[in-house]
Chains A and B, each alone.
Chain A
Amino acid sequence: GAGVSQTPSNKVTEKGKYVELRCDPISGHTALYWYRQSLGQGPEFLIYFQGTGAADDSGLPNDRFFAVRPEGSVSTLKIQRTERGDSAVYLCASSLTVGNTEAFFGQGTRLTVV
Chain B
Amino acid sequence: GDSVTQMEGPVTLSEEAFLTINCTYTATGYPSLFWYVQYPGEGLQLLLKATKADDKGSNKGFEATYRKETTSFHLEKGSVQVSDSAVYFCALTPTQGGSEKLVFGKGTKLTVNP
Contact = CB atoms under 8 A, between A and B. Distances in A.
B100 to A, nearest CB: 5
Interface string B66-83: 000000000000000000
A56 interface: yes
Interface of B: 4, 36, 41-46, 51, 89, 91, 96-107
B105 to A, nearest CB: 5
A33 B62 CA distance: 26
Given A42-B89, A42-B91, A42-B107, A102 B102 contact: no
Given A4-B43, A105-B45, A95 B107 contact: no
Contacts of B106: 40-42
Nearest to B103: A45
B99 A108 contact: no
